[in-house]
């Protein structure tokens, strides 16, 4: 009976997980263009990646930028918006809906919308003009500002993360704040010594998700690049500033059909995310505060 009930997953696990993992590991040691059979290449793909492929290092730099700049901004913004919603005020439900809804917008629609909003003659830059900024950035049309366009897009869609933080904040026991009040703690002290430790598990969770998402960041960057270039060959535009790890992998695998090399990229991606996650979990015991133990 167990075997029967488990069978959908067991088949799926073998066909869509075990087999492809083994196959991509094998491909990563071969030259493979789909049409001919794979040719054994040893470590050549990995050597090429680390020493000669300029796109690999460019994509690593872009991805690390999004990880180290984008993730903290996103988490901070999620915490701040969630904190605004914790105090019971009239109409708080309406505000919560307004803050949350943008995260429901399909990513492709949101990305196209922001490319328009931030285009050189678009409404945002015209507003900046009105406020006296006469040389506003060109955002998605300028390599050193394009990633900031994606950051703004990410902040606008902060809703889901915000809801999780909101739940965490509302879970902090009242008594802790009351005790802090009796001790004469200031608002800032309460934040640092009560709120922050209590929501540290949510921050930890968001950091792990942030690492995984940064290395898999694809749709928004793909859509922004191709929309700006007005062409499907515009991946990573302008000037490679939006060439993130997963876009490079997509391009190698499905545009150039370098399946062997793309598999090597996929495995490096897998190893990097695993390493980061393990590292985060290791350090977490030092700063993540679990109420009543980790396994509740």
Partner 1 sequence: MPPPVRRHRFLTAVTDHTLLVVTSVIFLTPVVFIVLTAVMSDQQALSSRLWPQPFRWDNFRTALTQLPLLRYTWNTVQIAVLSTIGTVVSCVPVAYALSRMRWRGRQFAFLLVLATFMLPIQVTILPLYVVFRNLHWINSFKPLVVPSFFGDAFSIFLLRQFFMTIPEELSDAAKVDGGDEIQIMTRVIVPLAKPAIAAVALFNFLYAWNDFFAPLLFLNNPRLYTLAIGLSQFRTLRHVQWNLTMGASLLVTAPVIVIFFLAQRVFVEGVTLTGVKG
Q: Which of residues 155-194 bind partner 1 (CB under 8 A)?
A: 156, 163-164, 167-168, 171
Taking the CA atoms of residue 186, residue 189, residue 190 and residue 195 in that order, the dihedral angle to the nearest 10 degrees is 160
Pick the binder of partner 1 from 240, 267, 276, 284 (CB under 8 A): 267
- DSSP structure class, residue 243: -
How near is the Cβ of 189 to partner 1 at its closest, in Å? 17
Binding piece for partner 1, criterion CB under 8 A, among 44-52, 53-61, 80-88, 188-196: 80-88
Pick the binder of partner 1 from 65, 148, 177, 218 (CB under 8 A): 218
| Cβ proximity to partner 1, 168 vs 210, nearer residue | 168
| Cβ proximity to partner 1, 43 vs 80, nearer residue | 80
The three-state secondary structure class of 52 is coil
Binding piece for partner 1, criterion CB under 8 A, among 48-56, 68-76, 189-197, 242-250: 242-250
Q: Answer whether the bond into residue 238 is a cis peptide, omega within 30°.
A: yes
The pair of structure tokens assigned to 122 is 């678009």
Residue 6 within binding range of partner 1, rule CB under 8 A: yes
| Cβ proximity to partner 1, 136 vs 201, nearer residue | 201
Task: Mark 202-234 as b/e (b = at least 16 C-beta within 10 Å).
Answer: bbbbbbbbbbebbbebbebbbbbbbbbeeeeeb
Pick the binder of partner 1 from 82, 202, 207, 242 (CB under 8 A): 202
Q: Which residues contact 21 (CB under 8 A, 6 or more apart)?
A: none
List helix spans (H) across 119-258: 123-130, 143-156, 159-170, 174-182, 187-190, 196-216, 219-229, 245-250
| Cβ proximity to partner 1, 102 vs 143, nearer residue | 102
List binders of partner 1 among 88-127 (CB under 8 A): 89, 91-92, 95, 98-99, 101-102, 104-109, 112-114, 116-117, 119, 121-124, 126
| Cβ proximity to partner 1, 147 vs 215, nearer residue | 215
Binding piece for partner 1, criterion CB under 8 A, among 11-19, 41-49, 142-150, 178-186: 11-19
Residue 29 within binding range of partner 1, rule CB under 8 A: no
How near is the Cβ of 94 to partner 1 at its closest, in Å? 8
Residue count at the site for partner 1 (CB under 8 A)?
Answer: 91
Residue 238: count of CB within 10 angstroms of its CB: 20
| Cβ proximity to partner 1, 76 vs 98, nearer residue | 98
Pick the binder of partner 1 from 128, 138, 180, 212 (CB under 8 A): 212
Residue 243: count of CB within 10 angstroms of its CB: 22
Taking the CA atoms of residue 25, residue 29, residue 32 and residue 38 in that order, the dihedral angle to the nearest 10 degrees is -90
- Distance (Å, whole) CA 7 – CA 147: 45
Could you tell me the CA-to-CA distances from 96 to 76, 81, 84, 87 in Å, in that order?
A: 17, 9, 9, 12
List binders of partner 1 among 59-78 (CB under 8 A): none
Residue 45 within binding range of partner 1, rule CB under 8 A: no
Residue 249 main-chain phi, psi, to 5 deg = -65, -45
Residue 266 within binding range of partner 1, rule CB under 8 A: yes
């Amino acid at each position: 009976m167990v075997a029967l009930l488990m069978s959908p997953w067991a088949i799926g696990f073998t066909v869509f997980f075990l087999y492809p993992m083994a196959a991509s590991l094998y491909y990563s040691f071969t030259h493979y263009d789909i049409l001919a059979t794979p040719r054994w290449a040893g470590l050549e793909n990995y050597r090429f990646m680390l020493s000669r492929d300029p796109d690999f290092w460019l994509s690593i730099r872009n991805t690390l930028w999004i990880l180290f700049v984008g993730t903290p901004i996103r988490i901070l913004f999620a915490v701040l918006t969630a904190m605004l919603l914790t105090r019971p005020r009239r109409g708080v439900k309406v505000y919560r809906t307004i803050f949350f809804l943008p995260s429901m917008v399909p990513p492709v629609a949101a990305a196209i919308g922001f490319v328009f909003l931030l285009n050189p003659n678009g409404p945002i830059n015209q507003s900046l003009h009105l406020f006296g900024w006469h040389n506003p950035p060109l955002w998605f049309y300028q390599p050193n500002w394009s990633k900031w366009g994606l950051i703004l897009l990410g902040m606008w869609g902060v809703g889901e993360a915000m809801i999780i933080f909101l739940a965490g904040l509302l879970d902090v026991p009242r008594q802790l704040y009351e005790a802090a009040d009796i001790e004469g703690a200031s608002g800032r002290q309460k934040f640092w010594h009560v709120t922050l430790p209590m929501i540290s598990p949510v921050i930890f969770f968001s950091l792990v998700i942030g690492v995984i998402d940064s290395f898999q960041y694809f749709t928004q960057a793909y859509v922004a690049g191709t929309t700006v270039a007005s062409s499907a060959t515009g991946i990573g535009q302008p000037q490679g500033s939006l060439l993130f790890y997963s876009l490079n992998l997509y391009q190698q695998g499905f545009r150039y059909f370098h399946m062997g090399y793309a598999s090597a990229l996929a495995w490096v991606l897998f190893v990097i995310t695993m390493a980061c996650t393990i590292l985060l979990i290791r350090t977490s015991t030092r700063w993540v505060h679990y109420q009543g133990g980790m396994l509740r």
